[in-house]
Amino acid sequence: MTTTMTKLLNFDAVEKAPLTTDPFSFMVARDVIPADMLERVNADYPHIDRPANFKPESLEYGPLFAQILEDLDSPEFERLISRKFDIDLTQTTKTITVRKLSEPSDGNIHTDHWSKIMTVLLYFNPEWHQEGGKLRMLRGKHDIEDYVAEVTPLGGTLLAFKRSNNSYHGYKRFDGERRMVQVNWVRSDPLALQAQRISRLGTHTGKKLLRMAKGLGGRG
């Protein structure tokens, strides 16, 4: 990415946000996108018409959104996350994806694939009044109501967590706009990358079959 302007994201808000370590390591920062910039940033958000994660290079968007992607992709941000979670990310591969729409099959309780090391989610919705779609940091894999924190996907909210065998999270079903950018640091060895590709393929295939089944049922 080429530089379009000075840094837009409020890294100080990320630096100052408290780190929670029980039941796993995560943090939530507010106003990472300055409130007076959110409307303009959303005007530059890419047009997306289906519920999937997209690589930025496959989308068209305005300069303010481009600057946010550049900030998230910067060495400064990576060093900040490394310090915050006391983790070495220098030997990982970083991926960035953009999403706009959530579907009812999203949000199931999970821990993320073992090849992932760190996840950052930055939200863009200007308001949120729905019960569903709020990401919950869970104590276990069986009960969506047994949570230690609930993160409403309001614009400027940033959630970061370290993947572990007990980093369970999920949200109640929601169908609609749930704007976010996701940053992942993943293991860079070939086995891990191949395993993640297989996992994504399985997830996409399962969701496609679910949509087909739903469509057939709806025509009965």
CATH number of the domain enclosing 96:
2.60.120.620
Among 21-25, 27-31, 138-142, 192-196, which is the least confidently predicted range?
Answer: 192-196
C-alpha radius of gyration, the chain, whole number: 17
pLDDT recorded at residue 4? 45
Count of the separate structural domains present in the chain: 1
Please choose, from the candidates 13, 197, 170, 171, the residue with its C-alpha nearest in 3D space to the C-alpha of residue 115: 197
Cis peptide before 18 (omega within 30 of 0): no
Domain assignment present for residue 85? The answer is yes
pLDDT at 138 over 90: yes
pLDDT at residue 189 in the model: 74
pLDDT surpassing 80 at residue 175: yes
Least confidently predicted of 42-56, 122-136, 157-171, 197-211: 197-211
In this predicted structure, the answer to whether residue 118 has a pLDDT above a threshold of 80 is yes
Domain region containing 56? 11-188
pLDDT above 90 covers what percent of the chain?
82
Would 194 be classed as within a structural domain?
no
Q: What angle do CA 83, 20, 189 make, to 5 degrees?
A: 50
Residue 193 lies in a domain: no
pLDDT at 200 over 70: no
